[in-house]
């Protein structure tokens, strides 16, 4: 050893000689099959903490998946409530000039789920069980019964009455001595004869107009030109706009009735005028739950790698390249990501099914999206964690241990 | 294959300067010990030799030195993986399939007196066994330059003796072995000694 000169004696800038620059280690030639086997050994020996990792990820997946699915289910329930309450039902009134057949045909228009017309009959109707009491009677078009299935949970008489009979709200049925459950017998009228009961419907006091809460609805054939008073249309998505209704109402007029001005109303305005399902669904889909699931699982994947940084840096020191180590860590991650997804999936599916008034597809898809995001986040976190591992850190890690 | 250091200086702050122009040459088969009091820069010099730290002044020429292996004061391993797995990994990285890698690893473990613990998890090895395993793995890696940092500092005398015996067996192999150690027995196991303060210390053997 020789002391030649000190550092500050004007020596040339410090440098490694060309041959002494830190070199890349020879490229590793680990076989892909060995990568998988090494990963499996790490999993089977518990080095990769597969149970902990799967447990944490399954929790993240289940929580975010349930959150996403329930968001859609809640939206479906809210939409169903909006519709069944009559908030999406518009009433277009033009006394004695509404063409019932045309009104029924509105149901074929995009955005109109059901439509039907009606008019009150002045005398009402009396039944033998209570001859002194006149019950309001409405003549309705056939399409109105379809509308009742949306806003009134109409249920037909099990004895097969169909539309060839009257429809009664539950309050009227109770007043006439009919049980809530069918089959319902024919009703006698004071003048003699029987009236068939086609079915019952519910018409609760939930803020809707109460005209039909105690009444008798009598479907009548609606040939062209039958003049009724109002046309009810169930709009979905529910955007109650007068301008839109004004367009729909013009074809309803029976010829020669131009002088009658239409009036518009909402059957139930207590829940607001609009319920834009697609827009609300898009909002639910953009909810931060899915992003949070991705971020949380990314963090989990990252941390699970970082806690092994010393052994991973040591493996790099044995010549393992970043790419090979990344593949190994991904293979290990697959061994806990897939079981976590398998555990979370049924939970999410149950969440999508429970209390869902609609087919579970959209809710299940939303939940599945959260699960997939969590899985992807875990994989990315694993790779990011691996990316931060460097052989060079080994010395400092050992010193700091 | 040789390693040449010329006029090395590492300065941490203006007032802390290490090596003071240290120069030395090492060739294949050399087994040298770095000596000096605590804080004199033995570990820092190992980093410089590894290429992990650039010297403030001077040059390091590593002709033919491609792979570098470290053996640290505290053995580094995966607690639940077997001793055999640790030694087999470098062979797997070199492209050997598992059966061949295991066979070659078992052969090396036998050579270093670790055949009996081949299947034992790393976490269940004694300190001396773990440290010898680190040497075994460094040999499996086929390192051109083996840097050893205080290998016996945390071992009892009996374990330290086994490690020093393994160290002595590395002399004359294809590697250049540089050991930083306070342990006189470890220094005695080496062929020669370098005082990192830049003072020629002669040949220890």
Q: Report pLDDT digits (tens) over A318-347.
A: 889 999 999 999 999 999 999 999 999 999
Q: Using a pLDDT cut of 90, give the percent of chain B over it.
A: 40
With beta carbons under 8 A apart, name residues in chain B contacting A31.
Answer: 92, 95, 97
Least confident of A364-378, B89-103, B159-173: B159-173
- The whole-number average pLDDT for the span A374-386 is 96
Given pLDDT bands bounded at 50, 70 and 90, which one contains residue A9?
very low
Closest by Cβ to A310, choosing from B61, B76, B201: B76
Given pLDDT bands bounded at 50, 70 and 90, which one contains residue A242?
low
Is the predicted pLDDT of residue A2 greater than 70, yes or no? no
CA A213 – CA A202 distance, rounded (Å): 8
With beta carbons under 8 A apart, name residues in chain B contacting A3.
Answer: 20-23, 198-199
* Contacts of the segment A173-176: beta carbons below 8 A, 24+ positions apart: A173/A197, A173/A200, A175/A130, A175/A133, A175/A135, A175/A214, A176/A127, A176/A129, A176/A130
A310 touches chain B (CB under 8 A): yes
CA A98 – CA A254 distance, rounded (Å): 6
Q: Which of B100, B102, B170, B103 shows the shortest CA–CA distance to B134?
A: B170
Sign of CA pseudo-dihedral A197, A199, A204, A208: negative
Cβ B163 vs Cβ B144: under 8 Å: no
Is the predicted pLDDT of residue B91 greater than 90, yes or no? yes
CB atoms within 10 A of CB B101: 23
DSSP letter string over A294-348?
A: HHHHHHHHHHHHHTTHHHHHHHHHTT--HHHHHHHHHHHHHHHHHHHHHHHHHHH
With an 8 Å Cβ cutoff, are B93 and A30 in contact?
yes
With beta carbons under 8 A apart, name residues in chain B contacting A39.
Answer: none
SS3 of residue B35 by DSSP: strand
State which H helix or E strand residue A142 sits in.
helix A142-151
CA separation, residue A13 to residues A17, A22, B48, B197 (Å): 12, 18, 16, 21
Q: Which of B142, B83, B91, B90 shows the shortest CA–CA distance to B112?
A: B83
Closest by Cβ to A1, choosing from B73, B77, B198: B198
B174 touches chain A (CB under 8 A): no
Q: Which two tokens stand for residue A264?
A: 């518009």
Q: Which of A107, A108, A125 shows the shortest CA–CA distance to A116?
A: A107
Least confident of A249-253, A278-282, A371-375, B194-198: A249-253
CB atoms within 10 A of CB B129: 22
ipTM: 0.84
Return left, alpha or beta for B202; rule: phi > 0 is left, psi -120 to 50 is alpha, else beta.
Answer: left
How high is the pLDDT of residue A158?
82
Scanning A16-55 for CB atoms below 8 A from B yields 16-17, 19-23, 25-26, 28-31, 33-34, 37-38, 41-42, 45-47
Is the predicted pLDDT of residue B122 greater than 90, yes or no? yes
Q: Using a pLDDT cut of 70, give the percent of chain A over it.
A: 86
Is the predicted pLDDT of residue A17 greater than 60, yes or no? no
Find all residues with CB under 8 Å of B110, minimum gap 6, and list them: none
How high is the pLDDT of residue A246?
63
């Amino acid at each position: 050893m020789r002391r030649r000169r000190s550092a500050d004696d004007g020596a040339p800038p410090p440098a490694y000689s060309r041959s002494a620059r830190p070199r890349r280690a020879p490229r590793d030639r680990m076989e892909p099959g060995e990568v998988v086997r090494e990963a499996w050994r790490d999993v089977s020996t518990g080095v990769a903490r597969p149970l902990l990792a799967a447990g944490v990820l399954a929790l993240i997946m289940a929580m975010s998946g349930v959150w996403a699915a329930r968001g859609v289910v809640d939206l479906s329930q809210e939409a169903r409530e909006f519709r069944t309450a009559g908030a999406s039902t518009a009433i277009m009134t033009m006394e004695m000039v509404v063409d019932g057949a045309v009104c029924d045909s509105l149901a074929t228009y995009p955005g109109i789920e059901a439509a039907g017309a009606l008019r009150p009959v002045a005398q009402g109707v009396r039944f033998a069980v209570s001859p002194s009491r006149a019950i309001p009677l409405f003549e309705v078009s056939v399409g109105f019964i379809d509308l009742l299935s949306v806003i009134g949970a109409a249920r037909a008489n099990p004895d097969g009455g169909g539309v060839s009979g009257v429809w009664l709200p539950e309050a009227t049925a109770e007043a006439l001595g009919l049980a809530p459950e069918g089959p319902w017998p024919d009703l006698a009228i004071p003048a003699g004869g029987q009236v068939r009961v086609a079915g019952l419907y519910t018409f609760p006091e939930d803020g809707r107009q109460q005209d039909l809460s105690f009444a008798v609805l009598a479907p009548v054939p609606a040939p062209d030109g039958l003049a009724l008073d109002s046309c009810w249309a169930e709009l979905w998505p529910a955007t109650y706009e007068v301008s839109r209704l004004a367009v729909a109402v013009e074809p309803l007029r029976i010829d020669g009735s131009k002088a009658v001005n239409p009036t518009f109303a909402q059957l139930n305005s207590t829940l607001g005028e609009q319920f834009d399902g697609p827009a609300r669904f898009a909002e639910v889909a953009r909810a931060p739950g899915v992003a949070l699931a991705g971020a949380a699982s990314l963090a989990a994947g990252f941390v699970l790698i970082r806690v092994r940084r010393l052994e991973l840096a040591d493996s790099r020191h044995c010549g393992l390249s970043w790419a090979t180590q990344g593949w190994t860590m991904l293979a290990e991650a697959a061994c806990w990501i897939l079981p976590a997804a398998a555990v979370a999936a049924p939970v999410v599916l149950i969440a999508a099914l429970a209390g869902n008034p609609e087919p579970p597809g959209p809710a299940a898809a939303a939940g599945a999206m959260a699960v997939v995001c969590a899985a992807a986040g875990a994989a990315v976190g694993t790779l990011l964690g691996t990316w931060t591992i460097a052989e060079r850190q080994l010395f400092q890690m050992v010193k700091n241990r | 294959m040789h390693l040449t250091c010329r006029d090395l200086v590492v300065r941490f702050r203006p007032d802390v300067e290490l090596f003071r122009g240290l120069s030395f040459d090492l060739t294949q088969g050399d087994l040298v010990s770095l000596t000096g009091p605590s804080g004199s820069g033995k570990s820092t010099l190992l980093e410089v030799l590894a290429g992990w730290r650039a010297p403030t002044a001077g040059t390091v020429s590593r002709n033919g030195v491609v792979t570098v292996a470290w053996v640290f004061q505290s053995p580094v391993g995966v607690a639940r993986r077997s001793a055999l797995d640790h030694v087999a990994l470098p062979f797997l990285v070199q492209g050997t399939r598992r059966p061949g890698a295991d066979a070659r690893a078992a052969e090396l473990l036998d050579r270093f007196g670790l055949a009996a613990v081949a299947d034992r998890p790393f976490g269940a090895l004694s300190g001396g066994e773990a440290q010898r395993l680190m040497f075994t793995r460094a040999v499996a890696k086929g390192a051109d330059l083996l840097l050893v940092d205080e290998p016996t500092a945390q071992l009892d005398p009996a374990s330290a003796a086994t490690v020093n015996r393994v160290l002595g067996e590395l002399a004359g192999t294809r590697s250049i072995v540089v050991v930083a150690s306070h342990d006189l027995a470890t220094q005695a196991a080496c062929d020669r000694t370098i005082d990192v303060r830049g003072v020629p210390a002669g040949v220890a053997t």
